Chain A
Amino acid sequence: MTRWGMVIDLDRCTACQACVVACQTENNVPPADEHDSARGRGISWIRLAPFREGEHGTRPGLHLVPILCMHCERPPCMKVCPTRATQIGGEGIVAQVYARCIGCRYCTTACPYTVRRFNWKKAEWVQPMQDGLSPDVSVRPRGVVEKCSFCHHRLQRARDKAVMEGRPLRDGDYQPACVESCPAEAMSFGDLDDPRSMVARLAAGPRAFRLLEELGTKPKVIYLSKGESGGDV
C-alpha cells in the first residue's frame, strides 16, 4: 500500500516562498486582504514559520521553515472532530470533508502544528483571478475548516491514470504543487512505504527529523537538516 509522504530539505530551502504561492493558486486558497492580514486571518496551507536561532549560543538570526499539514499517522485533529469531517485515507492522507464540517474549530485548536485554517468570511477573488480558479478544487464555503490535502485532486488524476494503465499506484505517480514548484529542489514527495523511493531513503537518513515528534503524532512530513541550526528546530 502506498503511504504518501513529503521530505523537506532545510539545507536546500532558500525560503523563497514559491511553494506558498504555488499552493495558493493550485488549491483556490483565497488571497487575504489588508484587513484580514492585519487581524491574523489570512488562509495559507503552507507557511514559513520563523524559528529563532541563537538562543543556545548558536549564531543569531531566523530560520524559516515551511510548515504544512503533517498528515500525521495519528492525527490529533481527527480524534476530536465531532462529525467525522476529518478522516485519514487508506494512503495516509488526512482529508477534510468541507460539506460536513460544522466549523466548531476543535480541530484547529487541537492541532499542535496550527496548520488548519478557518473560513472567517466568504472567499472572494478579484478579476481576473476569479477566472483563474482551478476547476479541480472546490472553493470552500464560509464557516468551514480547510487545510493542505497533499493536492488530493492530483492524486485522483494519477489514480485514474494508473487504473487506465492497469497497474497499481506507485512512487512518483504524482507530486503536490509545492513540491513541483520548488526551484531549489528542496522538497520531495512519494511513497514512504516503498523502501526504494527517494522519500523513504531520505527519511531514513541521518539528517531526518520530524516536528514535535515527542507528541506521538507520527507526521508524514519529514525535515532534513545538518544539525546545529536544524537541531534547534
Chain B
Amino acid sequence: METFDAHDDSRLLSPIATTGRRFYLFTGTLLAIGLWGAFAWWTQLRRGLSVTGLNIPVFWGLYITNFVFFIGISHAGTLISAILRLAHAEWRRSITRAAEVITVLVLFFGMGCVILDLGRPDRVLNVIRFGNFTSPLLWDVTSVATYLTASTIYLFLPLIPDIAILRDRFPSRRWLYRPLALGWTGTPRQRHLLERAIAVMAVIVIPIAVSVHTVVSWVFAMTVQPMWHSTIFGPYFVVGAIFSGIAAIIIAMAIIRKAYHLEQYLKPIHFNNLGLLLLVMSLLWFYFTFAEFLTTYYGGEPMHMVVFLSKTEGKFSPLFWTMVVSCFVIPFALLANGRTRTRIWGTVVASIFVEIGMWLERFLIVVPSLSYPRLPLTAPSYVPSWVEWSLFAAFVSMFILLYAVFTKFFPIVSIWEVREGREHSVSEVTERVLSYLPEGRDE
C-alpha cells in the first residue's frame, strides 16, 4: 500500500498523469454503445420517426422523458455547488468540481434529446429565425442556453488555478493548459478577482437553475391537458430535479472515489451530508407528489380521473408504484437510518433507486396524460422501440464517457480549494464560530 500525505496533491493529479488499461476498456465499451446509438439515429434519420414507438395520441415518449430527466440531473452540479459555496459549507471543497461537470455535460444531452425528437432536425434553427415567444418551448431554449453559458463559466472559473498547476506540472500539454490558465500566477489581486467572480456567478446561477426546470415543467403545465395543467408543476419539477441531481453526484463521487483511490478526499462524511440533503429532497418529493395526486383525486374531474386511475391502478400502475418505492420508500428507509446513511453503500444504493424512480416519474408525467385524450380515439399503447432505447443508452454512455475524459484532463477534485480549506478555512471557521458567541467581560 502506498503511503498518503495529505499535503501532497499528487493523488489528485495521478489520473491525469497516468492512464491504465482499465480506463481504455471502460471508455471503449462506452464508445461502442455510443456508436450503436449513432447507428440508431442514422436509422431514424433515414426512415423518420416511424422507427419509434410513438403514435397518434402519444406524440411524445422516451425522448421527451429523457429530456426532462437529463435537464433534471443537470441541477446537480451548479445549483448544489452554488448553494454550498454561498452557505460557506466547508465540506463542499472536494465535491463541487465533480458536481459542476455533471451540469455542463448533461445539458448537452438534454438538448440533444429535443433534437432527436424533432421530425425535422434540419430545421431546428427556425426556432431562432421564426421564434414565437408565446411558446414555452422557446422559453426553454432561452433558459437552457443561459444555464449552459452560466454553468460553463461557473465550472471554468474555479478551474483556473488548477489549470495553472497543470500548466506548470505537465509541460507536454502546455498547448492546452497555457491558454486556459489565462496567465494565472496566484497573485493576491488575481485571487481577489477570482473569488469575487466565483461569488457573483454563484449568486447568478441559482435563479437561472431554478428557472430552467420551472420552464421545463411549463412546457407541460401551460397546456390544458389533464394532469399537466397544474400550478404545482414548476416547484414540483425543481424539487425533482435537485433530487435526481444530488443522487447523480453521489453515484459519480462513489465511482471516482473507487477508480482514483480518492478515499481521503471523498470521505464517508461527504456521502453522509449529501445523503441528508437527499433525504430532505425525498421528503419534499413525497410531499409534492401527495399534494398533486390528492388534489386531482379530491376534485374528481372525469378527464383527470382517467389519467389518475391509469397511474394508480390502471396500466401504468406497476411503474407508478415502483416510482413511489424508489423515490420515497427505499431512500427514506436507507437515509433516515444513521447506520445505513453513514455508509457509502447506503447512500449509493439510495441514489440508484432515486435515479430509477425519477426517470419513471418523468415517463409517468409525459406518457399517461397523452395516452388518454379528451375525445375518444382508439390507439395501441405506447411501447418504446429499440431505436429509442438505444439512443437513451447511448446518451447515458456518452455522458459518462465525456465525464471520464474530463477527469483525464482536469482534476476532478479541486486542488486549490482543498488546499485553501486547509490553509485558511480552518482558522476562518474558528473565528467565525467565535464571532457568534458572547465576547469580553462586563466591567
Contact = CB atoms under 8 A, between A and B. Distances in A.
Contacts of A100: 123, 126, 130
Interface in A94-108: 100-106, 108
A105 B48 contact: no
Given A118-B119, A119-B48, A110 B225 contact: yes
Contact of B134 (A41, A79, A112): A79
A29 interface: no
Interface in A113-157: 113-114, 117-122, 141-145
A141 B60 CA distance: 20
A142 B48 CA distance: 7
B48 A112 contact: no
Contact of A103 (B118, B135, B138, B370): B118
Interface in B34-67: 47-50, 53-57, 59-60
Nearest to A103: B119
B59 A50 contact: no
A104 B374 contact: no
A121 B48 contact: yes
A142 B119 CA distance: 7
Nearest to B114: A104
B132 interface: yes
B137 interface: yes
A144 B378 contact: no
A82 B376 contact: no
Contact of A84 (B49, B114, B130): B130
A106 B141 CA distance: 14
Contacts of A79: 134-135, 222
Main secondary structure of the interface of B (DSSP, over half): loop
Contact of B380 (A38, A51, A84, A113): A38
A108 B59 CA distance: 7
Contact of A109 (B55, B138, B370, B379): B370
A211 B114 CA distance: 32
B119 A105 contact: yes
B292 interface: no
Interface residues of A, number: 47
Interface string A73-87: 000100111111100
Interface in A36-76: 36, 38-42, 47, 49-52, 67, 76
Nearest to A79: B134
A121 B118 CA distance: 13
A215 interface: yes
Main secondary structure of the interface of A (DSSP, over half): loop
Contact of B137 (A103, A104, A113, A145): A104
Contact of A143 (B56, B120, B126, B135): B120
Contacts of B375: 49, 67, 112-114, 211-212
A140 B378 CA distance: 24
Interface in A189-233: 211-212, 215
Contacts of B48: 119-122, 142-143
Contacts of A102: 118-121, 123-124, 126-127
Max chain B CB contacts within 10 Å: which of A85, A117, A120? A120
Nearest to B302: A55
A41 B57 CA distance: 9
A105 B59 CA distance: 7
Given A39-B380, A49-B376, A104 B117 contact: yes
A80 B133 CA distance: 9
A104 B118 contact: yes
Contacts of B135: 79-82, 106
Interface in B371-395: 373-380
Contacts of A82: 127, 131-132, 135, 137-138, 141
Contacts of A109: 59-60, 223, 225, 370
B219 interface: yes
Nearest to B119: A103
Contact of A106 (B50, B126, B137, B373): B137
A121 B376 CA distance: 25
Max chain A CB contacts within 10 Å: which of B49, B59, B117, B223? B59
Interface string A4-18: 000000000000000
A145 B56 CA distance: 11
B352 to A, nearest CB: 31
Nearest to A114: B373
Nearest to A50: B376
B224 interface: yes
Contacts of B56: 40-42, 114, 117-118
B385 to A, nearest CB: 10
Nearest to A216: B224
A185 B118 CA distance: 41
Max chain B CB contacts within 10 Å: which of A102, A103, A117, A142? A102
30 contacts: A38-B380, A40-B379, A41-B55, A52-B376, A76-B224, A79-B222, A80-B134, A80-B223, A81-B132, A82-B132, A82-B138, A83-B127, A85-B130, A102-B127, A104-B117, A104-B118, A105-B59, A105-B119, A109-B59, A109-B223, A110-B225, A112-B225, A112-B375, A114-B57, A114-B377, A120-B50, A121-B49, A141-B120, A143-B118, A212-B375
Interface of A: 36, 38-42, 47, 49-52, 67, 76, 79-85, 100-106, 108-110, 112-114, 117-122, 141-145, 211-212, 215
Given A82-B127, A102-B127, A122-B48, 7 more contacts: A36-B50, A40-B56, A40-B57, A83-B126, A83-B129, A118-B49, A121-B48
